[in-house]
Amino acid sequence: MTACSGLVMSLVAAATIGVAGASGEDLTPHVTVSGTAVIQVVPDQLSWNVTVRTKGQKLPSIAKEHQGAVGKVLALLRASAVKEADTQTERMRFGEDTQYDGHKAVKVGYVASTSVGFTTKEFNSYEGLWNGLAAIDGVSVDAVAFESAGEADYRAEARQKAVVAAREKAKALASPLGASVGEPLVLEEAELSVDPWSNNLTRRDLAEDRAAMAIAPGRVAVRARVKATFRLHVPTK
């Protein structure tokens, strides 16, 4: 894909070659390998996760104040050209606010909270959004992450590359034995561990001087891994 800035294909170390087993087991000569593909993509959007939290002693007044704070956040997003279709409010809740005194939970008032998630393709709006959100009482920015709107397409491409990587690895393992790789017997996608903080601005040391604040999109790694078992054609002596 043209938006892809680079492609790294890695062959995972784990692999097994099987020929025969105990009674009742499949005796088909085979090789089991895993293949991984990583596509480095230049991100084209920012994904924000924001929490609005309001505390106080009287729930009716807290609910009203909280509604106003959420309204200010949404008004800021509209003023910053964030589309309504790219904005979602969720996890709206209110209840008792407690603190622990030793091993006992003590009620200190009430709390209302709402999560607001939104995406924008305007990277130059970052500073205005950051400063605008900081000016609204009870707002915290939980995470700002670089993403690609075409991630699903890149992941599909990475899966195909991972399958190719797995087959090439199987060939490399079979070659010293004088064997050749046949059709796939098993092919499945393997889960990848994901670092939730990768490419996340909350991990960056942001400048104290907000007027000088800048961001560096860098690249987003889109990964896929497969596990495959191929038939082995072993030459007879």
Whether residue 67 sits in one domain with residue 118? yes
Residue 15 belongs to a domain with what CATH number?
A: 3.30.110.170
Residue 83 belongs to a domain with what CATH number?
A: 3.30.70.2970
Domain boundary among 147, 162, 178: 147
Whether residue 88 sits in one domain with residue 15? no
Whether residue 27 sits in one domain with residue 93? no
What the block records as the tokens of 126 is 């970052």
Whether residue 131 sits in one domain with residue 49? yes
CA–CA distance, 129 with 118 (Å, rounded to integer): 11
Whether residue 156 sits in one domain with residue 39? yes
What does the pLDDT look like over 122-153, one tens digit per residue? 888 899 999 999 999 999 999 998 888 888 89
CA angle (196, 83, 53) in 5-degree steps: 55
Listing DSSP states for 144-190 in one string gives EEEE-TTHHHHHHHHHHHHHHHHHHHHHHHHGGGT-EEEEEEEEEEP
Whether residue 168 sits in one domain with residue 95? no
Range of the domain at 138: 45-147
Contact indicator for 184, 235 with CB cutoff of 8 Å: no
Whether residue 33 sits in one domain with residue 49? no
Whether residue 59 sits in one domain with residue 137? yes
Domain boundary among 147, 170, 188: 147
What does the pLDDT look like over 85-134, one tens digit per residue? 999 999 999 998 888 888 888 888 999 999 999 999 988 889 999 999 99
Whether residue 154 sits in one domain with residue 138? no
Domain boundary among 115, 147, 179: 147
Predicted model pTM: 0.60
Q: Is 50 exposed, middle or buried (0-12, 13-18, 19+ CB in 10 A)?
A: buried
**Lowest-confidence segment of 71-75, 137-141, 203-207, 215-219 by average pLDDT:** 203-207
Quote the number of domains for the chain: 2
Whether residue 68 sits in one domain with residue 133? yes
Q: pLDDT > 70: what percent of the chain?
A: 78
What the block records as the tokens of 85 is 């279709």
CA–CA distance, 163 with 99 (Å, rounded to integer): 52
What does the pLDDT look like over 159-173, one tens digit per residue? 999 999 999 999 999
Whether residue 223 sits in one domain with residue 162? yes
